[in-house]
Structure 1
């Protein structure tokens, strides 16, 4: 069967007896708020109730979790690096942006590295298990009028891709002339890794980044550090527990993910977590009568009509009428055809 990315529907997202949320975050298994509720320590979410509402953090650290998806992605909150100067060119403040993860990777396809400023250059450094990697860009302009909203091509804003396979990053931001020529409208430079779809540059960002202190960053997560074939050998630790679910090897490195089969949805990491989709109700695929089947559906036409009954197929149309009949006889070894009309 084909596999589809899953979402959470009517089935409980977490193990029985385990919290399903922390503050505004829904927590689907294999993530959980205790060792009993999570698949292993990598998926532990610490719910800090000293905040109102409570805040979820990855493992027992300080990385705030914003969203978790069963498609193998997770959003966390990351700080913005900045450097600010006074009229004389002396630095008056600065912040750092860095993120270090115990296991999951920083998505190279769903994040970008952004620098904002009219006298700014920035570098992002990351590492995998074997080597250091870096990327950077330069942002320059001489007036607010020269920048174009929605464009991040080096005039007031620059961007570059994130190196693939990194588990951490450190942002280094600097200035060529300490913002002395652009102080009136751009006293600070800013740099950060951010979910690509979550940031669109505006000239208003040049003043104070519209008071943003944190931005969302997308992580890629997988289960374990082995392939599906290896993981299936140990039934007790194999994460794909649901009937009608399958295992997919990671495309970003070691590990695997679980998905519900086509025609099912829910949480493939839980027993009975993948539920049948009623295509007749959700898709309404038939012109005629729709019958929901396990993992599929069928269409049929009413009496007097023919076709496959599908909206994207031949549909239903009236059967052709036969006004007469043709008779075939064999006489003395010859065929005689007679039309009774």
Structure 2
């Protein structure tokens, strides 16, 4: 088997950025290699790629051999490029470690490593995961250079309690495990822990595999463990997403040197690298334009009137006129009205016809004329009302966002469609009521089951903007643990949103519903982890970042598989960019509100962390966040929890069910995490990303033998539970396996 070793430790390329950056490729440059299009600033050969002082954009293509595109002359095969996102996808080698039947031992490990330090490539930490496949397999990934937090090391362990526990598509520690990597990583190596190997189960799983790969392109199959299909099906290589940038200057610094500035298109703009100052910049086409901003005249105007990616933007056909960076809707010279969101009509011809009829037919014509005038007046009034409703409910804001974000679109439902879906909003179809409106269950004309949120009548301009805010926020985010928005209805007095229907209701109903629920601890941690992942996405990956503002169990929905979906963004806000930005009123739910937020009137992402801490307490205790029937000092669950923790009486407040099925050490770690989230000072609370990583660790820990009570009562507890299938049946062959925390967790060593 060839050694999977990719080394780019090469001497620095001579600096030639000043004159070469503004250089444009000639028409003779190769723009395709095999099946891969090569967009500038990338290129093959001298004068065909952007020169920045390193080999970031220099490609090589062996057309006489395999026709594959590679980074310069090295064994890094390119899958595709994205100029708009500043990304490059390559093939990364899978690292195998196999049992040798001849020697009756594991083969020697190779020193697998990957170094991109001489280029401006960074491994995308949001789209890639370190993945381990096999049985009794513990593998590590270590950084070769300093990250923002020093040298980095993490890993995960894949176990096989029994062949029957392997499940296609599941990579949660049974046959397969995954863990996140830090941002800014461009060099790493991979190794297996030799005291955990497959020699004991060679007949069942002869090989283990470790690789850093694109998460979306990996679908775990049980045959990857029991056969060599993983290597055969992939050819030993899987996709990996890299981020790239221009040079090592910020946009402000790069613009000072016009000859080296790479954003040469007239309709382009500069964006600093997300990895921080001194990590380069990217070029994007301005709103209303598309193409390649690195080429002269590369950003071309989008014809919104003809482009099929856009729904017809004018309400009256034939009235759309394209403009540079946008479009207009105008009625013809012989008509009047609103072609943007109304109608156009010929008032002169109608008026002449009315006068002629009036002269010839007397009173009858007069009545007809008056009726026509009234109808026109009503039509204008209705059109004006619709335009006003559309504006009040954020329609103009959404439409501008659709123009600036190409391809962003929704289904605009009519009032008749939603009335038909809900049987004219029959009370029997009500599935929830909240501070921002009522939610109905409905079925659309294409038989899709949906949840329809009908907002309350707003008394103030602030409340009128709540609907538009939620709609705009949901239009910008796409995450597996955030409720899916299908569309909206704007031209009505009471605006409506249409979501994917969640058949298992809210987390609040699951925890506090009658009869008392029996929820396994592993399922509770999984729901908490999924919720934390959604909030971490809003805080860290949404652009711009979003603060939810009302995190609580009634705003966490559960789909058919009891997967958590965060919902209700009526109290959400975009993260402030100015430290002086404050809110003029405090909104949220008693029992979940951040005390620092109530004191300072400043909503931050740490306010969501506090509210999530209360949600974590509800999962641990099955008690409500606020119980007005209790004594004054016991009304708030957070205060009661902090009191018993200070007095070392944690077990008194825990739900008896999880105490019977889970080791107290694991429960204490979850309790400690909740305590950190409930710190009075927001600066002392962890970020949601740190919370999500910790819950991911605790979720995996709770599923392994050392984190559970091995009792028949637990099996009995799960009988009939909707979570029964998610629990891990322990194999007697590994019940006594143990592992230190440092070998299982991600480890950050000092610089």
- Aligned equivalents of 1:127, 1:300: Cα separation in 2: 61
What is the aligned partner in structure 1 of residue 413 from structure 2? none
Q: Deviations over 1:2-52 (max 9, x none)?
A: xxxxxxxxxxx9653211111121111111112311111421001123423
Q: Cα gap change, 1:179/1:42 in structure 2, threshold over 3 Å: closer, same or farther?
A: closer
Unaligned runs of 5+ in 1: 1-12, 325-341
Aligned with residue 228 of structure 2, among 186, 205, 208: 208
Q: Cα gap change, 1:15/1:61 in structure 2, threshold over 3 Å: closer, same or farther?
A: same
Do residues 315 (structure 1) and 342 (structure 2) align? Answer: yes
Aligned with residue 99 of structure 1, among 96, 114, 133: 114
What is the aligned partner in structure 1 of residue 302 from structure 2? 277
How many pairs were matched up? 307
What is the aligned partner in structure 2 of residue 295 from structure 1? 325
Q: Cα gap change, 1:14/1:205 in structure 2, threshold over 3 Å: closer, same or farther?
A: farther
Report the 3-state secondary structure (helix = DSSP H, G, I; strand = E; otherwise coil) of the residue aligned with 2:183.
coil
Deviation at 1:94, TM superposition (A): 5.6
Aligned with residue 32 of structure 1, among 43, 47, 52: 43
Which deviates further from its counterpart, 262-271 or 35-44?
A: 35-44
Aligned with residue 286 of structure 1, among 303, 308, 314: 314
Deviation at 1:323, TM superposition (A): 5.6
Please say if residues 84 and 94 of structure 1, whose CA atoms lie closer than 8 Å, have aligned partners that are also in contact: no
Deviation at 1:84, TM superposition (A): 0.7
Aligned with residue 254 of structure 2, among 217, 226, 231: 231
Which deviates further from its counterpart, 57-66 or 295-304?
A: 295-304
- Aligned equivalents of 2:137, 2:342: Cα separation in 1: 61
What is the aligned partner in structure 1 of residue 292 from structure 2? 267
Do residues 118 (structure 1) and 135 (structure 2) align? Answer: yes
Q: Cα gap change, 1:214/1:93 in structure 2, threshold over 3 Å: closer, same or farther?
A: farther
Q: Deviations over 1:231-258 (max 9, x none)?
A: 1111111100101001111111310000
TM-score with structure 1 length normalisation?
0.83
Q: Cα gap change, 1:241/1:129 in structure 2, threshold over 3 Å: closer, same or farther?
A: farther
Do residues 42 (structure 1) and 56 (structure 2) align? Answer: yes
Please say if residues 106 and 199 of structure 2, whose CA atoms lie closer than 8 Å, have aligned partners that are also in contact: no
Report the 3-state secondary structure (helix = DSSP H, G, I; strand = E; otherwise coil) of the residue aligned with 1:42.
coil
> How well do the aligned residues superpose, as a CA RMSD in angstroms?
2.4
TM-score with structure 2 length normalisation?
0.39
Please say if residues 47 and 56 of structure 1, whose CA atoms lie closer than 8 Å, have aligned partners that are also in contact: yes
Which deviates further from its counterpart, 143-152 or 217-226?
A: 143-152
Q: Which structure would you say has the larger RCO, counting Cα contacts within 8 Å and 6 or more residues apart?
A: 1
Unaligned runs of 5+ in 2: 1-23, 348-370, 376-751
What is the aligned partner in structure 1 of residue 164 from structure 2? 145
More strand by share: 1
Aligned with residue 84 of structure 1, among 87, 98, 119: 98
- Aligned equivalents of 1:200, 1:231: Cα separation in 2: 42
Deviation at 1:126, TM superposition (A): 1.6
What is the aligned partner in structure 2 of residue 337 from structure 1? none
Which deviates further from its counterpart, 188-197 or 143-152?
A: 143-152
- Aligned equivalents of 2:113, 2:372: Cα separation in 1: 76
What is the aligned partner in structure 2 of residue 56 from structure 1? 69
Report the 3-state secondary structure (helix = DSSP H, G, I; strand = E; otherwise coil) of the residue aligned with 1:46.
strand
Please say if residues 152 and 159 of structure 1, whose CA atoms lie closer than 8 Å, have aligned partners that are also in contact: yes
- Aligned equivalents of 1:276, 1:64: Cα separation in 2: 33
Report the 3-state secondary structure (helix = DSSP H, G, I; strand = E; otherwise coil) of the residue aligned with 2:293.
coil
- Aligned equivalents of 2:97, 2:44: Cα separation in 1: 37
Do residues 194 (structure 1) and 206 (structure 2) align? Answer: no
Report the 3-state secondary structure (helix = DSSP H, G, I; strand = E; otherwise coil) of the residue aligned with 1:205.
helix
Deviation at 1:86, TM superposition (A): 3.9
Report the 3-state secondary structure (helix = DSSP H, G, I; strand = E; otherwise coil) of the residue aligned with 2:216.
helix
Query: Which structure 2 residues correspond to residues 167-186 of structure 1 after superposition, within 5 A?
Result: 167-174=186-193, 176=195, 178-186=197-205
Please say if residues 260 and 266 of structure 1, whose CA atoms lie closer than 8 Å, have aligned partners that are also in contact: yes
Please say if residues 114 and 159 of structure 1, whose CA atoms lie closer than 8 Å, have aligned partners that are also in contact: yes
Q: Cα gap change, 1:35/1:169 in structure 2, threshold over 3 Å: closer, same or farther?
A: same
Please say if residues 105 and 199 of structure 2, whose CA atoms lie closer than 8 Å, have aligned partners that are also in contact: no
Do residues 251 (structure 1) and 279 (structure 2) align? Answer: no
- Aligned equivalents of 2:33, 2:280: Cα separation in 1: 27
Please say if residues 190 and 209 of structure 1, whose CA atoms lie closer than 8 Å, have aligned partners that are also in contact: no
- Aligned equivalents of 2:90, 2:179: Cα separation in 1: 20
- Aligned equivalents of 1:138, 1:255: Cα separation in 2: 36
Aligned with residue 220 of structure 1, among 243, 261, 268: 243
Please say if residues 250 and 272 of structure 2, whose CA atoms lie closer than 8 Å, have aligned partners that are also in contact: yes
Do residues 306 (structure 1) and 337 (structure 2) align? Answer: yes
Deviation at 1:261, TM superposition (A): 0.6
More helix by share: 2
Please say if residues 173 and 190 of structure 1, whose CA atoms lie closer than 8 Å, have aligned partners that are also in contact: no
Which deviates further from its counterpart, 160-169 or 124-133?
A: 124-133
Aligned with residue 155 of structure 1, among 154, 171, 174: 174
Please say if residues 304 and 327 of structure 2, whose CA atoms lie closer than 8 Å, have aligned partners that are also in contact: yes
Report the 3-state secondary structure (helix = DSSP H, G, I; strand = E; otherwise coil) of the residue aligned with 1:239.
coil
- Aligned equivalents of 2:342, 2:211: Cα separation in 1: 53
Please say if residues 80 and 191 of structure 1, whose CA atoms lie closer than 8 Å, have aligned partners that are also in contact: yes
